[in-house]
Each structure stands twice: as C-alpha cells, then as structure tokens.
Amino acid sequence: MTNITQLSQLDLNASYSYADYLTWRFDETVELIKGKIVLMSPAPNVKHQDISMNLSHGLKGFFRHKPCRVYAAPFDVRLYNRKKSILANRDIHTVVQPDLCVICNTGILDEQGCNGAPDWVIEILSKGNSKRETQDKYQLYQDSGVKEYWLVFPYEQSVHQFVLNELTEKYELIAMLAAEDRASPALFPDLVIDLAEVFAE
C-alpha cells in the first residue's frame, strides 16, 4: 500500500479504515470518525496545555503503583461498538486522540496505542472544537463503552462529569464542578483532584 505524504492526496469525502490511517505520513494531525477524516484543531494553546499537564501530574502520581495506565495525547485510541471483540485494523473506522485517558485492561494496549475503549477519558475543550467533544465524541465514547467521561471547560473553569449507566448504556451527568471544587472520578473514588490546582496557570 502506498504511503500518503500529503493530506491533499486523500478524498475527504471517502471512508477510510485504521489500516489506511497507518499509511498516512503527512504533518497534519487528524482523527478518523466513522471512516471520515476530521482535521484536529491547531496546536493546543497555553491554557489547554497547563490544564493537561496539571491533570497528568495528579493522575500519574495516583496510578504509579496501580495496574491502570495513564496516557496523554497524541495517543491513538481505536473505538468501535462495545459488543464486538477486538477488531483488525481494516475493520476499525474510528481512531481518536483523547487529551487524557486511563486504561485498566492492559490487554487492549499494543504498539499502536489502545484497541478498544479506555475506562476513563478526559477531553479539554479548545475554542472551535466544542461540538466535536460535547456531541460527536460524547456519542462515540458512550457507544464504545468508555465508563467515565470528563469534559473540561478551560475558560469557564468547570468540569462536567459523565458516568455510563450499564443498564441503559447511556451517560448520566453526575456532577458539574467549578474551580473551587474537588473532583473524584466515580471509578476511582480515592483519587481527589483539587480543581483550583488544575486551573492554576
């Protein structure tokens, strides 16, 4: 298969698989959503990066001697319906790069990244991509079985915490938190995150 070195070589209206994605060698960062190429926002700004680093530091410390692993973007996560077994690259049509994710089933990790749903995903919104995170990725994470999803709003200094209801297979908003609050993931209640420190510049 020919390596693709420029985005212009691709038909943005066509559908692609993760096997195709692995051949792409251009500079632009993209995600693949149900086979469609989605251009990612320009490089994250300082506020976004500060929040990501602050969260990463706390998560890395908490999970250091635990079986779960923490990864930060860029890190490929391949998603598909939770009822399916691990799929081959040619059968996967969605690959995203969450800002942060926690994976406890290390059996779904391989050299390329994560083949299946992480347990916990955190997305930090950037200007211009809020619809993708609050609607498109929300649906993808819900359908693929991500158990907990946090949306971080940098400019509002708030966090929306969603937990998957295993009976309905739908997310439930369990908390809307502000900078003066402390947050704990439902999956890991012993982890306490001081949001004032997360939003500190």
**Tens-digit pLDDT profile for residues 96-136:** 999 999 999 999 999 999 999 999 999 999 876 566 677 88
Provide the 3-class DSSP secondary structure of residue 74. coil
C-alpha 161/C-alpha 149 separation (Å) is: 6
Specify the pLDDT at position 134: 78
C-alpha 60/C-alpha 11 separation (Å) is: 39
pLDDT tens for each residue of 180-192 = 999 999 999 999 9
Q: Which domains does the chain have, with CATH numbers?
A: 7-39 (no CATH), 46-198 (3.90.1570.10)
Minimum mean pLDDT among 15-19, 23-27, 76-80: which range? 23-27
Inter-residue contact 1 to 21 (CB < 8 Å): no
Beta bridge partners, 162, equal 149, 173
C-alpha 92/C-alpha 195 separation (Å) is: 36
Main-chain phi, psi angles of 53, to 5 degrees: -65, -40
In which band, very low, low, confident or very high, does the pLDDT at 16 lie, cut at 50, 70 and 90? very high
Nearby residues of 34 by Cβ (< 8 Å), 6 or more positions away: 15, 93, 94
C-alpha 74/C-alpha 95 separation (Å) is: 11
Q: In this structure, how many other beta carbons lie within 10 angstroms of the beta carbon of residue 161?
A: 20
The kind and range of the H/E element at 64 are none
Q: pTM for this structure?
A: 0.92
Nearest to 92 by CA among 16, 181, 171, 188: 16
